[in-house]
Structures are given as structure tokens and as C-alpha cells.
Amino acid sequence: MTLISSIFILLFVALVVGELLNRFGVPSVVGELLTGLVLGPAILGIVKPNQVYSGISEVALFFIVLLIGVEATTDSLRKNYKQALVLSATSFMIPVAAMYFVSTMIFGLDNIQSIVISVSIGVPSISIISVILKNFGMMKIRAGHLILASVVITDILAFAIASIVSDPKAIYYEVPGIAVFLILFFLLDMEIRKHSSAVVELFKKLHATERGEKIIFGSIILSGLIISSIFEIIGITYVLGAFFAGIIISDVVVGEELQGILTRTLSRINDSFFIPIFFAIAGLNSVLPPSGTIYLMIGLIAVDIVIAVPLDFFYGRAIFQHIRAKTGTGILGGRGAVGVIIATVALSSGIISKNLYSAAVFATVIISVILPPLVKKEDISIPEGARESFYY
């Protein structure tokens, strides 16, 4: 089978299955992962993974994470970081610590494997959660921004952990490197915001020229590639670089109109090609795990749900306005891009086996099937006149 034919089959089936499942309240990423699993060596063997697919997957991953960063502005962090930190602890840090303990003490995994698989299974995915928030109009209320801010914090932690565990000896320069980068990043962001009107006006003038939009889009992609390359040079995964490259792009930098065009363009490309093909290829790399790994997977899923759900529910009752705590808990249960990305990076680095990788992918699918359907539109109350901004 030729490359074009196999990509056509993967993409077509992933889009169809993903859309069908989405109509039943199941995130489309589940269908895309299942597509690769069924068509790949694990079941039918119609399409087999190879280095070309790995290259396509890396390019797709860059654009997926770049958009995740664009959707996660620094405003979400600055205005909600205190409560968001606690929410990150209830939805991610505490459950992951418990999964790490179970995977090492009961199932006998080594420390690095335990960290990777616990983080992969336990990390909420901003790509799915941001879509849920938008679909239910929750970016008009503070609860939506609290959830988004907590997931941004969680994903930064998860990406950083994944990068460090890929080379434990590098912790001595990677952790300070990340800290220095974050300080410089927020200082740059503050400086840009001080001169926001001038920056936005510059982009508006450039956008008004004949080839302005092409130059702007090209510059943004090049900036993402440069930052990603810098991260790789100092030993940190390019995924984190793409994320930060995206997060600095906001309406105070390029203007509300241009950011809308950028987000819509990247969303359409990602939704129609990069996201389904990335997850279909991720499914291709999966194998049906043996019984021992299945027990591990089920055990970690149980630990995650039993610990995260009550903690998110009770803390959500205290901080969420305009939504019921059950719905907030369901949203935070969204799994997908980030977990699979971390598992993929770990697999390609030789940190985990295909069996553990498959356990992480299967667990992502299962949790995404169980928790997000708890979200009910009738549990959300959007105040009249609320806009797509912070609501207080």
C-alpha cells in the first residue's frame, strides 16, 4: 500500500469514527485512537507503523501543541493562579502521586516508568477540555477560566516532567533552564503588554499589506520552530517549546481580529488533518497489552478516578459558580492529546515499552469515555450578557 493510500484510509476512518463517537458524547480523539488500533498491527494489520509516519506525527504534534498554547493565554494563569493551583493538585498532582505509589509498590515498575505512565494517564488534556469549555459556552464564566488555568498549569508540569525523566541526569540544568525561561517568558509578556497598542498596530499595518497575512503566519510558525529548537538544544522536548511559542500569542500581541483568524486557521487544519492523523498514528503504535499490563492499567484507572473525582467534586463545590460540581469534575476528566504525547515521547526515547505505551493509550480512551459524558448542559448557567472574557 502506498503512503498516500494509507494516509487516506487512516484519515478517512479516523474522521468518520471520531465524528460518530462525538455525537454520542464521547471525545472524537477516542475514535481516532481506536482507528489506528483497529487498522494497525494490534488487530487487522492493514496499516503498519514506520519512520515516515513517525515524521508526520512529529510535524502534526508541533501544530497541535502550538494551537494548545495559543488557546491558553497568560491571562488564564495570572488572574486565577491561586485557585487553579489547588485545582491542579486535586485533578492531577495528588492522583498521579497515588498512581506512582501503586505502580511501583504493587506492580513493580521502576521509578521512571512509574512516573511516565502515571503522568500519561492522569494528566487532563487542554485540547479536549478547551473544546468542551467552548462548546458549552463556559469561556463566558469564571469557572471556565479556572478550569482552563488549572489545566495550563497541569500541562506545563506534565511536559516538564516528561522532558526531565527522558534524561534524569539532565535535571541539574533542565530544571533551572525551565525556571529561567519561565521568568524571562513572563517578563517578555509583561513588556509586550505595556506596549500592547503599538504592537497590535504594527501587526494591523502588516496584515493590511498584500502579503501581510502570509508573513505573519510564517513568522509565528518560524518563532515556534525556533523556540522548539532552543528547547531541544538544552535537552528539553520540543513539545514544551511549541507550547510556550503559542501561549505568548494573544489578542494584546496580534490583536483580537488577527488572533481569531490565526486560531480558526490552525483549528481547521488541526481538526481536519493533524489531530486525527496524529492520534490514528498513535493508535498504530499500540499493541494489545498482556494480562499483567491490563491489570496495571485497570488499577491505575481505578486509582485516578477514585481519588481525583471526589477531590475535584468537593473543591469544585467551593469555587465553581454557575456550574454544578459534577459537571466541573466531568470536564477535568478529559484525557487525550497531552497524555498520548507524553507516552509517545517516552516510547520514542525508549523509556517505556510498547506494552506500557499501549496501557497509557487504552487508559486515556477509557477515562475519556467514563468522565466527560458527566458534563450536562443543564448544569451550566451562563449569565445574560456574558461575553467571551473573564466574568466576575
pLDDT at 73 (0 to 100): 65
> How far is 7 from 50, CA to CA, in rounded Å?
12
CA atoms within 13 A on the CB side of 358: 22
Taking only the tens of pLDDT, the chain with its 392 residues reads 788 999 999 999 999 998 998 888 777 777 888 899 899 888 888 998 888 888 898 888 888 878 877 766 676 667 777 888 999 999 999 999 999 999 999 999 999 999 999 999 999 877 677 767 776 777 677 788 888 888 878 887 887 787 777 766 666 766 777 778 778 877 887 887 787 788 778 878 887 887 888 888 888 888 889 888 887 776 666 777 787 788 777 656 777 777 778 888 888 888 899 989 988 888 887 777 777 789 999 999 999 999 999 999 999 888 888 888 888 898 888 887 778 878 888 888 888 988 898 888 888 878 877 887 777 777 887 776 555 544 43
In the 8-state DSSP scheme, what is residue 209?
A: S
Q: How many residues does the chain have?
A: 392
How is domain 3-379 classified at the CATH fold level? Answer: Na+/H+ antiporter like fold (1.20.1530)
C-alpha separations of 273 from 16, 71, 255, 279, 301 in Å: 12, 18, 27, 10, 30
Phi, psi of 123 (to 5 degrees): -85, 125
Distance between alpha carbon 224 and the CA centroid of its chain, in Å?
17
pLDDT at 392 (0 to 100): 37
> How far is 126 from 38, CA to CA, in rounded Å?
26
Tell me the sheet residues that pair with 69: none
Q: Are 307 and 78 in contact (CB under 8 A)?
A: no
What number of other Cβ atoms are within 10 A of residue 199's Cβ?
17
Q: Are 29 and 336 in contact (CB under 8 A)?
A: yes
Q: Are 284 and 301 in contact (CB under 8 A)?
A: no
- Amino acid sitting at position 365: V
pLDDT at 131 (0 to 100): 67
- Domain spans of the chain, in order of start: 3-379
Helix (H, G, I), strand (E, B) or coil at 380: strand
* DSSP assignments along 144-166, one per residue: HHHHHHHHHHHHHHHHHHHHHHT
What number of other Cβ atoms are within 10 A of residue 213's Cβ?
16
pLDDT at 174 (0 to 100): 67
Q: Are 340 and 33 in contact (CB under 8 A)?
A: yes
> What is the H or E stretch that residue 134 is in?
helix 126-135
Cβ neighbors of 203 (< 8 A, separation 6 or more) are 216, 253, 254, 255, 258
